[in-house]
A and B are shown apart, each in its own frame.
Chain A
Amino acid sequence: MLETFNFRVIFEYLPLFGSCFLATLWLSAAGLVGALVIGTLACSMRIGRHKLIAIVAAAYIESIRSTPLLVQLFFFYFGLPSLGIRLSEAATGILALALNSGAYLAEIIRAGIQSISHGQVEAAVASGLSYIQRMRHIILPQAIGVTLPPMLGQAIVLVKDSALLSLISLPELTRAGQIMTSERFMPAEGFLTSAVFYLLIYYMLKWMTAWSQKRLIYMQA
Chain B
Amino acid sequence: MWGFYIEQLMHSLPFFLKGLWMTIAVSGISLVVGTLLGFLWGIIRSSQNRTLKALVGAWVDIIRGTPFLVQVFIIFFILPEFGIQLEAFPAAVIALTNLAACFICEIVVAGIQAVPWGQREAAISTGLNWYQQLRNVIMPQAMRVILPPLVGQYVLLIKDSSVVSAIGVVDVTRVGWLTVQRVPQGLLVFGLVALLYFIICYPLIQLSNSLEKRMSSGYTRGKV
Interface residues of A (CB under 8 A from B): 1, 4, 62-63, 65-72, 74-75, 77-83, 156, 160-164, 166-167, 174, 177-178, 181, 187-188, 191-192, 194-195, 198-199, 202-203, 206
Interface string of B157-200 (1 = CB under 8 A from A): 00111110110000001001100100011110111011001100
**Is there contact, CB below 8 Å, between B163 and A194?**
no
**Is there contact, CB below 8 Å, between B173 and A177?**
no
**Is there contact, CB below 8 Å, between B197 and A66?**
yes
**Is there contact, CB below 8 Å, between B77 and A80?**
no
- B-chain residues with CB within 8 Å of residue A81 when the two chains form the complex: 186
- B-chain residues with CB within 8 Å of residue A63 when the two chains form the complex: 194, 198
Interface residues of B (CB under 8 A from A): 62, 64-71, 73-74, 77-78, 81-82, 155, 159-163, 165-166, 173, 176-177, 180, 184-187, 189-191, 193-194, 197-198, 201-202, 205
- A-chain residues with CB within 8 Å of residue B62 when the two chains form the complex: 195, 199
B208 CB to closest chain A CB (Å) equals 11
A47 CB to closest chain B CB (Å) equals 16
> Assuming A70-B162, A75-B190, A78-B186, is B202 touching A163 (CB within 8 A)?
no
Q: Told that A198-B67, A199-B66, A202-B64 touch, could you supply 19 new A-B pairs with CB distance under 8 A?
A: A1-B78, A4-B81, A68-B160, A68-B161, A70-B162, A71-B197, A74-B173, A78-B187, A79-B187, A82-B185, A82-B187, A160-B67, A163-B68, A187-B74, A187-B77, A187-B78, A188-B74, A198-B65, A202-B66
14 residue pairs A–B, Cβ–Cβ below 8 Å: A1-B82, A4-B81, A65-B201, A68-B160, A71-B190, A74-B177, A74-B193, A80-B186, A160-B68, A174-B67, A177-B73, A181-B73, A195-B66, A199-B66
**Is there contact, CB below 8 Å, between A74 and B197?**
no
Identify which of B68, B77, B184, B205 contacts A66 (C-beta below 8 A): B205
> Assuming A68-B159, A82-B185, A160-B68, is B176 touching A74 (CB within 8 A)?
yes
B71 CB to closest chain A CB (Å) equals 8
A155 CB to closest chain B CB (Å) equals 13
**Is there contact, CB below 8 Å, between A77 and B198?**
no
4 closest residue pairs by CB, A with B? A78-B186, A202-B65, A187-B77, A163-B67
Q: Which residue of A lies closest to B198 (CB)?
A: A66
Identify which of B65, B159, B187 contacts A67 (C-beta below 8 A): B159
> Assuming A1-B78, A78-B190, A192-B74, is B65 touching A199 (CB within 8 A)?
yes
Identify which of B66, B166, B198, B205 contacts A167 (C-beta below 8 A): B166
> Assuming A67-B197, A71-B197, A75-B194, is B77 touching A188 (CB within 8 A)?
yes
**Is there contact, CB below 8 Å, between A70 and B189?**
no
**Is there contact, CB below 8 Å, between B194 and A72?**
yes
Q: Which residue of A lies closest to B204 (CB)?
A: A66
Q: Which residue of B lies closest to A194 (CB)?
A: B70
Identify which of A62, A160, A181, A195 contacts B77 (C-beta below 8 A): A181
**Is there contact, CB below 8 Å, between B66 and A68?**
no
- B-chain residues with CB within 8 Å of residue A83 when the two chains form the complex: 187
Q: Which residue of B lies closest to A163 (CB)?
A: B67
